[in-house]
């Protein structure tokens, strides 16, 4: 069981390019698992964690509804945004500058074989990080992700999640609003959930900007502790 994680911070990178990069890593792990089934000497499968910011983009999960995107192709172009139908779970979401997107590409057989537990650990990573900023975040029953003021008229989502898994290998992940322009959420029904607001860390703290690197370090600290993992290599791509 390999509990080493390779951390790649991709900076600001096009969504489609990042998706293809994820797919390459994902398929590489699946191929190694297939090879290991046929060999006496089995090689350890690698684990990756990608941090990235995307230019403005809307993505629709395989169970999503296109009507949750509320604007036309022309309006998308005017907003300098793109749109993709993708192969993760969940409905529609937005990615943009100032948002920390994390893509753990893990072989869960190195950790535990439980997708429900995996999602709860990703949520817990966000909840613990927000606690360091004095914010009490929670889960909302039946709604994957992380929220503030659950069960009140002021409930608002601060982190969305959507994953894909095959043979216990994961891809896609979470989108954590840190310094995000929340105006872009007005052009969709976030995650297909009506009448619920979205927020970001800088808004909640009443600050113009929160250092992204500071937040990434907190996220990674909690991720490693929850998954009982270690960093193998930090690579800038």
The tokens for 171 are 């891809």
Given the residues 191, 212, 215, 219, the one annotated as active site: 191
The tokens for 197 are 């607001």
Q: Does the annotation place 206 within a ligand binding site?
A: no
> Any idea what the Cα angle at residue 203 is, between residues 181 and 174, rounded to 5°?
65
Any catalytic annotation for residue 159? no
Q: Does the annotation place 91 within a ligand binding site?
A: yes
Q: Does the annotation place 149 within a ligand binding site?
A: no
Q: Does the annotation place 107 within a ligand binding site?
A: no
Q: Does the annotation place 171 within a ligand binding site?
A: no
Q: Does the annotation place 88 within a ligand binding site?
A: yes
Q: Which helix (H) or strand (E) holds 215?
A: helix 212-227
String of DSSP letters for 183-211 = GGGGGB-GGG-TT-EE--HHHHHT-S---
Q: Does the annotation place 137 within a ligand binding site?
A: no
User: How many residues are listed for the chain in this entry?
Assistant: 237
Q: Do 229 and 111 touch, CB atoms closer than 8 A? A: yes
Which residue ranges are tagged as binding site?
88-95, 160-162, 173-175
Provide the annotated binding site for substrate: 88-95, 160-162, 173-175
Query: Which residues are part of the catalytic machinery?
Result: 191
């Amino acid at each position: 069981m390999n509990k080493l994680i390779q951390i790649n911070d991709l900076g600001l990178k096009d969504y489609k390019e990042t998706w293809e990069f994820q797919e390459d890593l994902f398929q590489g792990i699946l191929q190694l698992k297939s090879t290991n089934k046929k060999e006496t000497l089995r090689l350890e499968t690698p684990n990756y964690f990608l941090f990235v910011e995307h230019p403005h983009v809307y993505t629709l999960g395989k169970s999503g509804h296109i009507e949750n995107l509320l604007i036309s192709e022309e309006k998308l172009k005017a907003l300098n945004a793109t749109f993709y139908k993708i192969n993760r779970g969940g409905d529609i979401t937005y990615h943009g500058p100032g948002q920390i997107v994390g893509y753990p590409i893990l072989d869960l057989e190195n950790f535990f074989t439980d997708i429900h537990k995996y999602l709860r650990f990703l949520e817990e990573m966000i909840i613990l990080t927000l606690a360091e900023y004095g914010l009490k975040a929670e889960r909302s029953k039946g709604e994957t992700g992380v929220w503030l003021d659950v069960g009140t008229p002021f409930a608002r989502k601060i982190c969305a999640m959507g994953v894909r898994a095959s043979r216990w290998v994961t891809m896609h992940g979470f989108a954590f609003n840190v310094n995000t322009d929340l105006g872009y959420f007005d052009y969709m029904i976030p995650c297909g959930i009506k009448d619920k607001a979205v927020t970001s860390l800088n808004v909640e703290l009443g600050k113009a900007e929160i250092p992204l690197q500071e937040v990434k370090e907190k996220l990674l600290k909690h991720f490693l502790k929850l998954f009982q993992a270690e960093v193998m290599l930090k690579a800038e791509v």
